A and B are shown apart, each in its own frame.
Chain A
């Protein structure tokens, strides 16, 4: 019992002290100031990632590469504090406030909830760089893409949906009904799927939407889908990407081609795509971060969209489905893109 009172007393004392300290304006500390001027300046960057996932990991590597390309090297003039919440959102806030309190010079958020936690913890004081957030305005992070407003800017990895649609038209011109499959619990996947639905309808397709809530649903839903559609579109979506092998197995049995949004998904058996490189996305974010560290203000630093994708095709898959890939597509993949066999 005494312990309870003891601990409560300690907590109250700590809080009272902190409140007193926070409400009396601190005088600029001369010694501290001198310290800041002297010595080689090492900048501290906090990177917060939602979960380990091939695409997000690529973004992380890209950010570090982007910083390096602008002269910020780990161990020399850069210290990176990397935290990964491993999908446990209960920890995001703790990690973000750790960054804020250790006076990081800049914070980088990978995936929407991570970026939102950082934005909250930074409270407009520390600059926040978004790395590949699909929908930063919809996520409430910024006011507009041109003038982000708060101390936040970065890259948006919006999928080149129109190019995807053109690619489908080019490779399977006879397809009338398009199935779109996405995960209901994935913000980016849902956003892209609904956008693609509109685009495809405008282009004259009959569009059928299919949703999974976990990767376990894929076998059943995909089975249902391939019996009703001529081609499948799989947007940039964590759930579908994870269950890509299942989707492809089911689709191959019914001879329906799958057009994914990411090159990793073509590697896993998708037919072809024009994919934004996640590494490139991260790298541009890293370069933007370096510019902010050098003094550029995020408030009027527009969001950079990486829309141009590189062509990836899977020739084994094409043979399996009995589809002849157009020569122009193959050439593009050979010259600048990737061919998976």
Chain B
């Protein structure tokens, strides 16, 4: 039972990353590598501030701001410097390593014994502090994004991703939309880093490795499991996808697979999920279903 609760809690915490990446990966339609740098950047900022006696909530907000700054740099390189987005992201991600070392002053800082955003909930049953923080932060983030995407600005943002040429023709400044998207997305990733570092009890310079897969996994599993959804529902589906992904990892561990193969297994899982529409088309599942439906009408 405890393990189930813990897994749901982890899923909730990590889903902030999925939601953040959704803005760039799905709406703006480009892969943003910056996140592997902004995730530890958020963790480094928050943890360093906390160890210097700053309130953990303010420290987490500061992490959000530093993430936005890093996102702004990637956006600047892409929109003004005309550097391809993949490369711009990788450049900022690489630079983040040095910046993070400067912020932390060493490769690893511990939070054990410090006040974190989880501290005030320590009276709750085991792991429910994680559930509460996860639920509250995911709800706030989701609601703010739903509000944003429904606004005029948000609609312009969505159009930019759908069809930049058309967006420009109706007078939308697509560069500005891209900058906005990258800033908000990386700010949220850094916030996720800050929250997860506080939950883990430490910030480590190498904690960003592989997180892009974790974030993508929650988006893609959400899409595959729940099918066609409206924009708002898709945001909720990401959180559920993140929880499902954590359970998949847990099952893989429980089945006794060698943990050396964990990354391979999660990549295979993602690849299958990504290929599913294509596979079902190739195997004529959709035709079969259509035929089955039309036959039943006869």
Contact = CB atoms under 8 A, between A and B. Distances in A.
A91 B111 contact: no
Contact of A94 (B1, B202, B205, B250): B250
Given A91-B249, A120-B112, A184 B209 contact: no
Interface residues of A, number: 51
Given A88-B210, A101-B6, A113-B204, A4 B260 contact: no
Interface stretch (B69-77, B181-189, B225-233): B225-233
Contact of B3 (A11, A19, A85, A97): A97
B202 A140 contact: yes
A98 interface: yes
Contacts of B101: 184-185, 213
Interface in A234-266: none
B276 interface: no
B199 A187 contact: no
B107 A116 contact: no
22 contacts: A4-B233, A14-B5, A15-B5, A22-B126, A22-B128, A23-B125, A89-B200, A90-B211, A90-B214, A94-B249, A97-B6, A102-B3, A113-B108, A116-B202, A117-B201, A138-B110, A184-B101, A184-B205, A185-B206, A186-B107, A187-B108, A213-B98
Interface in B222-278: 225-227, 229, 233, 236-237, 240, 243, 246, 249-250, 253-254, 259-260, 262-263
Interface string A1-28: 1011001100100110111011100000
A185 to B, nearest CB: 5
Interface of B: 1-8, 10, 14, 97-98, 101, 106-113, 125-128, 131, 199-202, 204-207, 209-211, 214, 225-227, 229, 233, 236-237, 240, 243, 246, 249-250, 253-254, 259-260, 262-263
Contacts of B112: 116, 119-120, 140-141
Given A91-B259, A94-B249, A112-B108, A18 B233 contact: no
B209 A116 contact: no
Contacts of A113: 108, 202, 204, 206-207
A209 interface: no
A86 interface: yes
Contacts of A186: 107
